[in-house]
Amino acid sequence: MTQHSRAKYQPSGKLQFGIFFQGVNSGTIWKAAESGSQTDFESFRRIAQTAERGLFAAFFLGEGLRLREHLGRPHELDVAGRPDAQAMLAALAAVTSNIGLVATQNTTYNDPADLAHRLSSLDLLSGGRAAWNIVTTDNAWTGANFRRGGYLDHADRYTHAEAFVETAKRIWDSHDPEAGQWRRVVHNGKHYTVDVTPRLRRSAQYRPVLFQAGDSPEGRNFAARQADVIFSAHPKLDDALDFRRDIVERTLNAGRGANDVKIMPASEFILAATPEEARDKKAWVRSLQIGPQQAIAYLEQFWGRELGSYDPDGPLPEIDPMVEETSETRGSGFHGAKARQLADQWRAEAQEKGLSIRQFVSAKTSRVDATFTGSYAEVADRLVDYARTGAVDGFNISPWLIPTGLDDLVNHLVPALQERGVYPTEYAGSTLRENLGLAAPERPGADVAAESARTESAPSKSAPSGSRV
């Protein structure tokens, strides 16, 4: 890469799509007659094959390690109630040929040697299509699910994650194909120790592609140092451009090239042949996403009490929340908010705008910035601006219906984008790295060991130094 291209970000002018198959959320319609299931393989197979027909780069699964609770009962469709991501992706590898397979996996509760082995397995089984979305879950209710208990402070989560990822990379890099040998990998640090001689050969794409999702400054720096792709929360054009600038700066500061980290924000598409039809479809989609039961259940998360006696088409409950200080142990709805204050604010807002419970919840949960609504041509034109300005490298799309929610996008939006020259007309290669346009990882040497020593305490003297990678 030239000095110039390292220092200045250059838009590729192209977009890629990924599909984000969700679990608990207010974005997927799980209760309609045509809804699939989050446990039956058929739903996964059908939508993954549709995405592949549309030349999607990646099929993406989130992860939860403990069922979230709602009023003491498990959330019906929690992602933790879905088959394990890597098992599901291995099954999908057998019925697809080109699409990348992204497993979200947590650095706080996994162990690096074990996870590196499982991800290598998926990468080998899929012919070089695996990716790891690195997350660093920080909540106590997940921590309570593990023998060691507890969880890490925010700052510690990323130093831990860094040592974890560096160790995984050393494990993947330890195979010397010419010599047909593996080097032993030793790490003896603050958070864990590893002494392993890996046993899987490199995949067709060398090692799994690394995604990252986490938006704090520490999370962004971590991505700038380690990730190939960021699954971002910044889909709106001006916000996406700011995010790109921020990530390019951090990536350059980390000593990498300006184009080295791809960005794919979370998004939703509601499309039709004409703008009017798309508007009507959006109203229909929203009414199904937030039905009467979902609207009440959503408020119950914040009130901490049963609200089943309230009319979903009436005003917000006048009764106060049961909980005072909201707690992270109950699930994401509770992160950090003060329930009573929030309830007062929401009642005032709903009254001022004349919104019923259902209308209010629908407005609160619809991801306005992340939703692209319009005719195929209109939306294709909007997306051209993203490609031209280089705001993003593509979109990670959450279908509002599983398994048929991508059909119209693949049948109509993809050809419209191809006509405009911003979407691939074939897969660039057989590996995810090739299809995302990522360079092969540089072969690290002894500096990798030095990097581990930088992020964790120095390796112990008793470790056999001659065998360190």
Ligand X SMILES: Cc1cc2nc3c(=O)[nH]c(=O)nc-3n(C[C@H](O)[C@H](O)[C@H](O)COP(=O)(O)O)c2cc1C
Q: Which residues bind ligand X (CB under 6 A)?
A: 62-63, 104, 106, 135-138, 213-216, 218-219, 231, 233, 266
- Rounded to 5, what percent of the chain is helix, strand, coil? 45, 15, 40
Cα–Cα distance, 129 to 355 (Å, whole number): 47
Q: Which is nearer to ligand X, 361 or 370 (CB)?
A: 370
Residues 267 and 235 sit within 8 Å (Cβ to Cβ): yes
Q: Which is nearer to ligand X, 135 or 350 (CB)?
A: 135
How far from 355 is each of 55, 313, 314, 362, 447, CA to CA, in Å? Answer: 41, 9, 8, 10, 59
Q: Which is nearer to ligand X, 191 or 358 (CB)?
A: 191
Q: Which is nearer to ligand X, 359 or 365 (CB)?
A: 365
For the bound state, the minimum distance from the C-beta of residue 316 to ligand X, rounded and expressed in Å, comes to: 28
How far from 241 is each of 154, 237, 247, 423, CA to CA, in Å? Answer: 27, 6, 10, 20
For the bound state, the minimum distance from the C-beta of residue 371 to ligand X, rounded and expressed in Å, comes to: 15
Q: Which is nearer to ligand X, 30 or 360 (CB)?
A: 30
Find all residues with CB under 8 Å of 415, minimum gap 6, and list them.
none
The gap between the terminal CA atoms of the chain, to the nearest Å, is 26
Q: Which is nearer to ligand X, 214 or 390 (CB)?
A: 214
For the bound state, the minimum distance from the C-beta of residue 70 to ligand X, rounded and expressed in Å, comes to: 18
Q: Which is nearer to ligand X, 285 or 370 (CB)?
A: 370
For the bound state, the minimum distance from the C-beta of residue 230 to ligand X, rounded and expressed in Å, comes to: 9
Spell 149-165 as b/e; 16+ CB within 10 A means b. eebbeeeebbbbbbbbb
- Residue whose entry in the numeric block shows the structure tokens 């992706």: 89
For the bound state, the minimum distance from the C-beta of residue 348 to ligand X, rounded and expressed in Å, comes to: 29
363 C-beta neighbours (distance < 10 Å), count = 15
For the bound state, the minimum distance from the C-beta of residue 107 to ligand X, rounded and expressed in Å, comes to: 9
Residues 107 and 135 sit within 8 Å (Cβ to Cβ): yes
For the bound state, the minimum distance from the C-beta of residue 267 to ligand X, rounded and expressed in Å, comes to: 10
Token pair of 181, please?
A: 């040998």
